[in-house]
Structure 1
């Protein structure tokens, strides 16, 4: 950034006058006696403002202006064309040559200083903007590199965890089989085996969840669209978690009308989204509580008039989510204070939001502490998905977490 003004004029009296005025105003002043001299100085001096006379021997002002504009080092420099020509056509010609302003000679000192100060402010702002843009570009490059490193790390980590998990799972099955064959197994040992299997399944789901989200962030996941009956989708989602609800002593209610529409969507991923909400509801609802899965078709109002939507509700009678946590509940890795006692990645709701958004829908939450929580997914019933089947979205075809 420069506070330097280059005065380009073949008349020494004009240069001397401008030097005195500008120096008193606090500017550093350089002088050039003609166009060729100006071109030699600008590359090294990089002046913030150039006062450029129109009529000079050799290269005239417009020619010098056009040549300066080809120098990438001087993109931020402001050029004020000086001329005794005051006709509109002359002003237009000077500005078309690349000048930023046009000043008719002779000019008042106040006007000259006002124009130079204004041009210098623009120069400073352009310089700052260019620096910020360069910093932003550098930051983006670093973030992209970090994202790439994270993606590679996640893939390696998941692979390194899955392999020993498979080994442990196989060893557990073999141990159970040997116990059955030797007749040493009893109810207590079966309970221990079942607990071990559930723990391994849970760890596997957590690993898959991290991998799914990593794929979504990297833009690698895709939608595999098909026409799906909404009623069948809702019932299938409920069936997949019914055993977990029964084991925990939770009543699972499923409510939907028989005339729900069919939608074009990715069946597996939408099951994942609904399943994540149901699994969370069951996880955080105490024994004896109720989890309700409801679905309905509604008509749009206002800007959505004439459109219809499938609305899916997942409601529980759990402890609820603190109001201060609600704005962040869909953020990746975020876990509400009331729920941190449960093991998880904090990615489940982020995945739900991305799956829903990829289908052109929205997900929202309402919660009251001590009463329960209600999540709502709203999907358009249009037969065409708003995003292409290659849209970046999470949720690989793995078990629901």
Structure 2
């Protein structure tokens, strides 16, 4: 039943309007003056309002103006009751937001006809508003789906490429590392043999003696085992990187399974190792000793039921953004010693680095801190905090919106954090929040359940 509010100071007119409307099946609320009418409008929230123009305390035009200025009540169909018939009066009422007029004395048939028309328009407007809301929601879901498809295809292609490269590199590295062990053994045998020759034939012929001096035989004897050991360590390092790449891509782990969160974080850090040192920044002053400190505060965590590959994608995006923030903050560093003192006041709240000058006060280096803990018996919490440039409340409010980015054109698509949000919240039933202060830093807090409640077997 549609609610109608009647605001009329004349008691006889008010009673007649109420009777005629109630007989037609409408729910009617009445008010005697302007202030009471406006108060009733906020409380009752009528679909249609019949309001006299001339009222004590507040006239009908002012009521209409205030009603239409309120977003929740702006759709109320407003009919002004008036004995005025000039064009100027009608224009004033329309400018205030009135939807229709009803002239006094009021004809009951005209009253009901205008009320029916007004309620019909009100319902159409409500339906249109609901349709717009549904379209807006559908558009948002479509954009999120599009972002997911784009990122999913991107990560799938990247994962296949990484797995292929890792496989191709793994074969020759296995061959090299396997043969290095034998080579080291052979070299040790040969050196031992040479030592035996030196022991039993201490006075070699001139030609052998001259050759030993030219190649610095004693140095070669000491350095060759070290060189082989260094090559062995390099081969093992490459094998570790390949293993991390394969674990990071996790092409064989598309379903939910139990995973070690710390292993995923460490593998991601290994992939991003190249960005942690000064030579990844081209625009820094040459006397700026730049390196990013990684602080890991890992708590004891159980294995977590999750999509490991997708969580690795989240870790990669969050850590990559933290590195971007630190690099952006380093752009504030002046390019010469003279201007450093002038910029010190700007950098003081979040200085992060150290000039190669013993006279300069040591400053806090650019840092990423990763903390993990059990937030409760059913959830783990991962915090990734940087002391970068931070962000404004406006940027923080749109951080997880699809296609929103603050990076220059060509440097970012605005999909990364949106996908992270979908993975953490949508796929894992967790939470992803951001705490940030401009000029201080940013902290991203991820919470995910230890167990995923579904029908899939782990």
TM-score (norm 1): 0.42
Bigger Rg, structure 1 or 2: 2
